[in-house]
Amino acid sequence: MAGCQRHWIPDPETFNAHGYDWNAIQHVADADLNAIPPGAPLPSLRGINAAAFISQSVPSWMNDDVTVTVTMRNTGGTTWTDGGNNPYRLGSQNPQDNIIWGLNRVDVPATVPPGGQVAFSFTISPSTLGMHNFQWRMVQEGITWFGDYTPDVHIRVVKGP
């Protein structure tokens, strides 16, 4: 962030546009971000989960199983892993935890350090015909949902399983 001028941004949507999770930042050691003078370091993001949406490759219609790709960047201060009691995953949204696509979680395929990005490539198998929402978000199991939502894509399923 060298060379950046910082100022308080009270609007969560504007704050998220800079790659930080508003809910996570609110919990940074109960710091009063208004009291941080320009040029002073921000509170540490160590232990904070945050994610930014990068891209996705998703069809607008399908008549069979399809492999999709969602890419996310780790903008927080934790390392995403697929092991332990609270693994990191990509989880289905709209509605949350739905199994419309045959699964509701996708494990991170590799360790993702802060600043790194990861491509989740997985096959979706729709359970019913019709128009369905395809939207995902990062989750640390048993801890919290966090970061950007992927754009909500409406996929028309024209042939059933």
Q: Which domains does the chain have, with CATH numbers?
A: 51-157 (2.60.40.10)
Mean pLDDT for the chain overall: 82
pLDDT, residue 39, reads 65
pLDDT per residue as tens digits for the range 128-149: 999 999 999 999 999 999 999 9
C-alpha 70/C-alpha 141 separation (Å) is 19
Q: State the burial class of residue 21 (Cβ atoms within 10 Å of its Cβ: 0-12, 13-18, 19+).
A: buried
What is the percentage of the chain residues whose pLDDT exceeds 90?
67
Q: Which of 28-42, 67-81, 86-100, 124-138 has the lowest mean pLDDT?
A: 28-42
